[in-house]
Amino acid sequence: MRPAGRRTESAPASEAGEEEAFAVAVIDGLSAAQKTLPCRYLYDERGSELFEQITALPEYYPTRTETAILEAHVAEIAGDSGAGQVLVEFGSGSSRKTEILLEAMPDIVAYIPIDVSDSALDEARCRLAARFPELDIRPIHGDFSGEVTLPADLHFSRKIGFFPGSTIGNLDRGEARGLLKSFRKILSPHGRLIVGVDLLKSEETLRLAYDDPTGVTAAFNLNIVTRINQAFGQAFALDAFRHEARLNRQEGRIEMHLVSTRDQSVDLLGYRFTFRRGETIHTENSHKYTIDGFRTLARSAGWLPERAWTDADGLFSVHELTSVRPGAD
């Protein structure tokens, strides 16, 4: 539990507020029986750089496969994106995959990328403005899982949501349902959502994708400890933890852990955290679905599953969901 009187996590206004939220998350996470750290803290500047490298690894199939699916089916995916429609992207990052869609959606009036990174939004805006000079680009700086208010003048426009990358896999199934409901509200009425979802597959393929032989994913995972050291003093010995990717069959997900390689204690933020040898910090979940399993989840969030596209090897899926009911519950 969060200590009483601390600020809540919603949109820390200042850097000091953000650092305080990070400290609270670290203390809370490392005090739990299964130690844990929120995965969003993996993605600082260095972490985002390492994640970019992951997406280019031969073992990391999702990015490449999703891009190929989008390219192969872009005409269908773009649909009748007739005049007046607005494209809203949740967690837009570099907006690379968006270019594929925008190319096939010449009548889109506005593109609204939502991201927590100002620099990513800026870079994407400049690149897209050069490539699509007619497009009205209206970035929103913020966390898409929180309260999102779209520009008032676009209130009555039809909206297409885009949520690629299987980012939804970071959430457990209950949380994913909540997020899909909130997207339905944001895109209502008559929203349409294109969402990329990674599929369940062999343990071998999953393990290699999340524990590559070159160690990029290990560096990505360990970077969260470096980030804690940088923020709060050099408390962690980096060589005392190693990366591990675990398949949790019960939950249908790959988990990233940092495994303590020895008995140790870590003095941090006025607390002493002890680790037994082999004890882990759970740093990220990556949930995997079947196509039908994801459709069922979408239905439970009030969406109507329409088409779904996949690659020849059935590694990844892109879903089209529509919402005909008012998205107000």
The pair phi, psi for residue 300, each rounded to 5°, is -70, -15
- Any contact of residue 210 with ligand AVJ (CB under 6 A)? yes
Place of tokens 């990329």: 196
Contacts of residue 254, defined as CB under 8 A and 6 or more positions apart, other chains included, come to 206, 207, 209, 210, 245, 246, 247, 248, 285, 286, 288
- How is residue 129 written in tokens? 């403005």
The stretch among 135-143, 161-169, 173-181, 235-243 that binds ligand AVJ (CB under 6 A) is 161-169
- Any contact of residue 212 with ligand AVJ (CB under 6 A)? no
Q: Would you say 27 or 37 has its CB closer to ligand AVJ? A: 37
Angle at 53 between CA 132 and CA 212, to 5 degrees: 145
Contact call for residues 113 and 86 (beta carbons, < 8 A): no
Which one among 98, 166, 260, 317 touches ligand AVJ, defined by CB under 6 A?
166
Q: Would you say 54 or 101 has its CB closer to ligand AVJ? A: 54
The nearest distance, CB 97 to ligand AVJ, in angstroms, is 12
Q: Would you say 85 or 217 has its CB closer to ligand AVJ? A: 217
Separation between Cα atoms, residue 276 and residue 264, nearest integer Å: 7
Separation between Cα atoms, residue 21 and residue 44, nearest integer Å: 15
What part of residues 271-290 is at the interface with ligand AVJ (CB under 6 A)?
A: 284, 286
Q: Determine the distance from the C-alpha atom of residue 242 to the mean position of all C-alpha atoms in its chain, rounded to a whole number.
A: 23
- Any contact of residue 182 with ligand AVJ (CB under 6 A)? no
- Interface map 55-84 toward ligand AVJ (x if CB under 6 A): -------x----------------------
- Any contact of residue 169 with ligand AVJ (CB under 6 A)? yes
- Any contact of residue 294 with ligand AVJ (CB under 6 A)? no
Number of H helices, E strands in the chain: 10, 14
- Any contact of residue 199 with ligand AVJ (CB under 6 A)? no
- Any contact of residue 179 with ligand AVJ (CB under 6 A)? no
Q: Which residues bind ligand AVJ (CB under 6 A)?
A: 54, 62, 165-167, 169-170, 210, 217, 256, 284, 286
